[in-house]
Structure 1
Amino acid sequence: MSSGKSSIVLFHGVTMSSAAWEDVVPFLSDHHDVVALTALGHRGGPVARQRPVEVRDLVDEAERMLDDRGIAQAHLAGNSLGGWMAIELALRGRALSVCALSPAGFWDGGGHGQTAAVRKLRRIGTLVRATRRVHPLALRSAVVRRLSMRDVACRADRLTPTQALTATADLIGCTVTEDLLGTAEQIAPVSELPCPITLAWSAKDAILPPKVNGRIAQERFPRARFEILPGVGHVPMIDDPKLVATTILATTGAVPATTGVRSASPDADR
């Protein structure tokens, strides 16, 4: 039986899973029916039968997931790769609104804004795989959690050891990492938005910096609402779940927009 609330569908970043949204979902569930999906080829998600996998394949599979749930349109929110997927679904007419948190896909044909991100993500993956045997013991330490995840979050120490272990298991269990890191795809410019879109960039994003990728995003989506989220890293759900939820709910119209967060320039130092 329907709750009468509109649906919101959440998409995680590359090598992650729906578990990335665990601390955000409680803040959203009073306002929306929440569906957190795990992408094709990621741990716990549909198995990738054909390789290499491209972002369009993940979007195709996500659309099938929506169809299977009887969701014609929903509010969509995503981080990094998930933000890219949400935007592409919106361009297919599946979104009531989109909140894209530091979305991937905003780089130029020469790879500007992509190469450095890929290099860092590959380095993270190599380190996590090389140290997998010590994770259960090492990640009990809040200091280790914070330092080991510093490229993606400012406050990974606020995760529980179980949550940190899940994140590392998700990374190791992702079968399509290299496919996606090697893609030549990108998000094309649009002059008219298919629905309200918020591009919410993490101020301390070390993977897709606002001064580089955020600027490209503003140039390609000039009619989108652009925000800088203060004090958070590339995966803001780790650092400040409440801020993330408030930003999403402002996009869906469930709560008023928060003052003091929006920035007209990705160069803003927040």
Structure 2
Amino acid sequence: MSHHREGSGEPLVLIHGLGSRWQLWQPVLPLLRGSFDVVALDLPGFGASAAVGAADVGTFADAVTAFAAGAFPHAATFHVAGSSLGGGVALELGRRGVARSVTAFAPIGFWGPVSRRWCQVSVTAARGLGRLARPVLPALAATRLGRVALFGMFFGHPGRLDPAAAVADVDALVAAPGFAAARAAFAGHRFPGAGAGAVAGGGLVADGSAVAGVGALGGGVPVTVAWGSRDAILPAFQARRAAGALPSARHVRLAGCGHLPFSDEPAVCADLIRTTAGAA
């Protein structure tokens, strides 16, 4: 899989969401590379990685596990953070005991039929808009008002985006060969729930600050689930479902953040990853 690697320390894998690419994590990479050997991946069918067939959470988890075995040959497990689809993959890796710790930002799988369909339709519409608006996209993205109009569904503070990077992200979304298969696979994915085995104590937090008491999946894997209060793709009411399905995990509300909180609050997001990893 195509990837970017930097830093030193314990292994950490970063996994993007539907239609995205490893560059999603660029706002937090400078804050993580001093603590971790960080690998940010392009999932199969996204970014610069070729599609390889099935595009469900389990298949992606298999691919990440195989990749990590080669990238970190001396480590039996690795820390993982994921966004949206990548959050669902990260939780699956934690459920399997492959991950050393899990930080999931607005993970898929805590939806009902209506909210799942809303996610699929919203991201598909954004892809279509990106294709149609491509001739004028650089000019629109160059203005703060244009970035708010174009990217407000995904970010709490779209005005903070780098215009060139935002246009490149749209190009990656439009070009992703694995998009349709991964979107369709959403219909068959739902987090298995508390039966997967949550065992340690945690708590619901009202803001994005780091707290003690990181919860765990079965096997003692520390897990934090974070949700932006302005998430319009997977609306934050799904955070309550996540708290019910994973009652022992740490659940964090990211005030003012959107579905992709990394440019909204990079320091907070990096701190959540470090704190969760530190509980392993």
Alpha-carbon distance between aligned partners in 2 of 1:15 and 1:36, rounded to the nearest angstrom: 15
Please report the RMSD computed on the Cα atoms of aligned residues, expressed in angstroms: 1.7
Q: TM-score, normalised by structure 2?
A: 0.83
Partner of 1:197: 223
After superposition, what is the alpha-carbon deviation per residue over 1:42-79, rounded to whole angstroms, capped at 9, x for unaligned? Answer: 0212x1232x5322222221111111212431111111
Q: Which position in structure 2 is the counterpart of 1:38?
A: 42
1:187 is matched with which residue?
Answer: 191
Cα distance between partner residues in 2 of 1:23 and 1:53: 27
Amino acid at match of 1:210: A
- Residue of structure 1 aligned with 2:15, choices 11, 14, 19: 11
- Cα offset, 1:11, TM superposition: 0.7
Partner-residue secondary structure (3-state), 2:115: coil
Q: Name the amino acid aligned to 1:169.
A: D
Equivalent residues of 1:191, 1:222 under 8 A apart: no
The residue that corresponds to 1:151 in the other structure is 153
Single out whichever of 187-196 and 94-103 deviates more from structure 2. Answer: 187-196
**Which residue of 97, 103, 111 maps to 2:101?**
97
Q: Specify every segment of 5 or more residues in structure 2 that has no aligned partner in the other structure, as ranges.
A: 1-6, 199-216
| Residues 1:206 and 2:213 aligned together | no
Give the Cα separation in 1 of the matches to 2:256 and 2:140.
Answer: 26
**1:74-132 CA distance string (max 9 Å, x none):** 11111111111111111222111111011112124xx1431121121121111111111
Unaligned runs of 5+ residues in structure 1 are 255-270
Amino acid at match of 1:139: A
Residues 228 and 253, structure 2, Cα contact 8 Å, conserved in 1 = yes
Residue type of the partner of 2:141?
A: L
Q: 2:168 aligns with which of 166, 169, 172?
A: 166
Larger relative strand fraction: 2
Is this contact kept in 2: 1:12–1:78, CA < 8 A?
Answer: yes
SS at match of 2:168: helix
Show CA shifts across 1:130-151 (max 9, x none).
1112222222222211220011
> Which whole-Å CA distance do the structure 2 matches of 1:4 and 1:163 have between them?
26
SS in structure 2 at match of 1:75: strand
| Aligned twin of 1:258 | none
Give the aligned partner of residue 260 of structure 1. Answer: none
Amino acid at match of 2:135: R
Give % identity. Answer: 31
